[in-house]
Amino acid sequence: MDKNLDLKDIIIKTLDLNKALDIVSIDLKDKSSMADYIIIASGTSSRHIQSLSEQVLEKFKDNGLKNSKIEGKESNDWKLVDGIDLIVHIFHPEKRKFYELEKIWSELIPKEKIMI
């Protein structure tokens, strides 16, 4: 079984158990070389977003990704947890709607644009 796929499932389950909202997973394997998957979720408050990001970071580290880190520590409405081949964005719902990452990454990107 694909280790990244297993870890993706662990992260989604962790987010779900910790009451994250609107969890979406996007497969990037044929779209970008920066990661295999992006997971996007929403939190209900700045404390909830912070807690979710810490839970995700802990799961990454438990699964051998010792260099994982949280970006956006000063932000109250967005966190990114970098799991190398798996990137997790946790947003306040208003910020998530503003950035529309699902729309950006769900669209098929022609290979010519990927090369640029």
User: What pTM did the predictor assign?
Assistant: 0.86
Answer whether 12's CB lies under 8 Å from 4's CB: no
Indicate the pairing of strand 78-82 with strand 37-42.
unpaired
* Residues 45-86: tens digit of each pLDDT: 999 999 999 999 999 999 999 999 999 989 999 999 999 899
Answer whether 20's CB lies under 8 Å from 49's CB: no
Domain 3-75+83-104: CATH superfamily is: Beta Polymerase, domain 2 (3.30.460.10)
Structure tokens at 23: 């969890």
Model confidence at 6, pLDDT cuts 50, 70, 90, reads very high
Indicate the pairing of strand 21-27 with strand 37-42.
antiparallel
Q: Where are the domains of the chain?
A: 3-75+83-104
